[in-house]
Chains A and B, each alone.
Chain A
Amino acid sequence: MNVMKSIYIDAEGLRWAVSISEKDGTFNIVSMQQEEQSIESTVSATLRKGNVLLSDGRKATIAKVGDDWWVHLSARTYRLKYIEPGSSSVDEVEGGMTAPMPGTVLEVLVIKGDRVQAEQHLMTMEAMKMEHKIVASESGTISVVHCSEGQKVEQGFVLIELDATE
């Protein structure tokens, strides 16, 4: 039996440490942990035509794009992230508001030092001819504005950072 080294997977923002073993083409779970929580399961799996066949008879279709795994199982689609060993964190920049999609910054309504309330409208983005409001994630003071009107930004780009009111 070949026990493989633990790998880390982000599912819905939760970080899982997973260790599996393999013998004669059959995979088993050795351990599966998320913080204090540990999951036991007797489920096993084999590979079938580039996909994963579970011991309960269900087949998962898989694909990898960048660091993301895409898994289709029981008519549902999931996106999980592989975390490189040694990478510090997958958390977003604290207090940062990021672009929800690629697009153009239409208007910026605040400047550095402005005091804002949670949910306050800070800037407007445009993508696919639709406008989207970027609002304050919490109350506080604007510490950095990373973009200007007319600027094109990628998805996940940090637009504005704020120091939360204590």
Chain B
Amino acid sequence: MSLRWMEGGSRPYTKVLIANRGEIACRIIRACRELGLKSVAIHAANDRESLFVEMADQAVELKGGSLAETYLNIKQILEIAENTQAGAIHPGFGFLSERSDFANAVQSAGLVWVGPSAQAIESMGDKMTARRLMRKAGIPVIPGEEIDEVEEQAALAAIHEASQRVGLPLMLKASAGGGGKGMRMVEDFSEVRGAAMAARREALSAFGDGRVYVERMITSTRHIEIQILADSFGEVIHLCERECSVQRRHQKVLEEAPSPVVSENLRAQMGAAAVNAAKAVSYEGAGTVEFLVTPHGTFHFLEMNTRIQVEHPITECITGIDLVCEQLRIAAGLPLGREQSDIKVNGHAIEVRIYAEDANNGFLPAIGPLTVWSPPTGPGIRLDSGVRQGDEVTPIYDPMLAKLVVHASDRKAAIRRMKSALSEFIILGTTTNIDFLQDLISHPAYRAGKTTTDFIETNWPNGWSNTQTSLEVIFTAAIAQNSGIHSKISISTDTQLGDQIRNDPMNPFIRIGRRFP
């Protein structure tokens, strides 16, 4: 049984195993369903009740408890692929998505790998190798030095020497890194050794590779990335930029497309550089080339992410192209079927990441039940989420709960739409960053498009704090306590449940009670 859209593809398949979890697993399952492909979810025991497991056509539980035994267990995942007769594996992002040994193992097992070659992943995944390759391809990189020493004392000595030449302030970055892990900023030479040791240790624990290199810290920069698509015939196009400058702890919080500062000319230059970067590693599939852009409009290669990106929906909004579907088409061996001149920007899109975290308290991760989960809907509003009401947020996995995306005719309209959507979003039971995001989207500096990577520290130098609790809020809590609403809510097996509340189909607590007695 073959699918019509796959005709002519050299690598046909009908069933996709998703080697991931949560929000991105849900996103991939939906794309598979639209394309007529069957989906197989794999999950750890603690994800048994999760949404993605419910959504997939088939779900298989992974044996073991730790991440290494479950979502990072290549052997077990391949066994499940064989048992379920999956023809292709989509790795999502995070986990095994940028592991060349996984890409190799999948292909050696005779399965279709939804992603670039192991060689491309390896070259780009090792940030030092990538810097060298890009330099060779004529793409500007951030001034800095690679450190080849592996042994700790030799590496620390080399980092120390290199830091003198690179100058302050500087960044120490894990060569195998990403997501802010194994990264340290250094503002004084006396801090280099301690910072290098901490970065190495964090890198070793997160990636199993402690190598760290030195880069000059460029301040007041913007983080702007180019989405590319490349097919197995060597054709590469770019899908314009995403502005991802607003970050906390080196992790993105808000992204938008197009960037408020990228001109047609700069877009063409950065797009060409991104296409060249992809060609330099014979890239295949969807990928993202990240750049730092200085206030003068010069740009430096930061890294290439050889996978689908968290913030891919905003590009989908403005180009009308479904990136996950494109990944699946390219993996089947089909040509792009589009040329650069076909890519047009339509309107403006913004994404915010809804994290379970306490913005009042240095953005530390928060946990708890999603007792009320009431997301916004309406024209131009998209929610990519892996949770639903009644779920529990645990410290085991990433604290990102959902991505709220809006699309409108221009930036101003998109900001208004996001503001409205956030004000409608109710999450109770777990602390989230929604209130912070509302202040962020309404901030005059944001509205003026003055987004740089230090935006949050610059605009909230003493940290952010929420609106003061008003007397009405305290009054509301007192009514709840006195009228006993809350006890009727929390004790779902309670026979004293008031008839009025019991019979109210709109009462969200009733629904929670059913799911979580």
A75: chain B residues at CB < 8 Å are: 422-424, 438
Interface residues of A in 64-90 (CB under 8 A from B): 64-65, 69-73, 75-80, 82
Instruction: Choose from A27, A126, A132 the contact partner of B479 (Cβ within 8 Å).
Output: A27
A98-126 interface code vs B (CB 8 A; 1 in, 0 out):
00111100000000000000000000001
A11-49 interface code vs B (CB 8 A; 1 in, 0 out):
110001010101000010100100000010101010101
Q: Is the CB of B476 within 8 A of A50?
A: no
Query: Which among A55-63, A138-146, A158-166 touches the partner chain?
Result: A55-63
Given contacts A18-B474, A32-B474, A62-B476, contact A50 B482 (CB under 8 A): no
With an 8 A cutoff between CB atoms, is B108 at the interface?
Answer: no
Interface residues on A, range: 35 or more
Give the CA-CA distance A77 to B354 in the complex, in Å.
14
With an 8 A cutoff between CB atoms, is B154 at the interface?
Answer: no
Q: Is the CB of B438 within 8 A of A52?
A: no
Q: Is the CB of B479 within 8 A of A45?
A: yes
Q: Is the CB of A69 within 8 A of B480?
A: yes
B368: chain A residues at CB < 8 Å are: 65
Give the CA-CA distance A12 to B364 in the complex, in Å.
17
Question: A73 to chain B: closest CB distance in Å?
Answer: 6
With an 8 A cutoff between CB atoms, is B468 at the interface?
Answer: yes
Q: Is the CB of A62 within 8 A of B486?
A: yes
B490: chain A residues at CB < 8 Å are: 64-65
Q: Is the CB of A103 within 8 A of B395?
A: yes
A69: chain B residues at CB < 8 Å are: 476-477, 480-481, 486
Instruction: Choose from A47, A131, A155 the contact partner of B367 (Cβ within 8 Å).
Output: A155
Closest to B184 in A: A131
Q: Is the CB of A63 within 8 A of B372?
A: yes
Q: Is the CB of B364 within 8 A of A100?
A: yes
Give the CA-CA distance A61 to B489 in the complex, in Å.
13
Q: Is the CB of B468 within 8 A of A131?
A: no
Given contacts A101-B366, A129-B206, contact A62 B485 (CB under 8 A): yes
B507: chain A residues at CB < 8 Å are: 49-50
Instruction: Choose from A65, A80, A127 the contact partner of B473 (Cβ within 8 Å).
Output: A80
Q: Is the CB of A41 within 8 A of B471?
A: yes
Closest to A82 in B: B481
Q: Is the CB of A29 within 8 A of B475?
A: yes
Please give 10 more A-B residue pairs, beta carbons under 8 A apart, in addition to A50-B504, A62-B476, A127-B365: A9-B474, A12-B468, A16-B474, A45-B476, A50-B509, A63-B429, A73-B476, A75-B424, A76-B435, A102-B395
Those 7 A-B pairs whose CB atoms lie nearest each other, nearest first: A64-B486, A75-B423, A70-B428, A63-B428, A18-B478, A69-B477, A63-B371
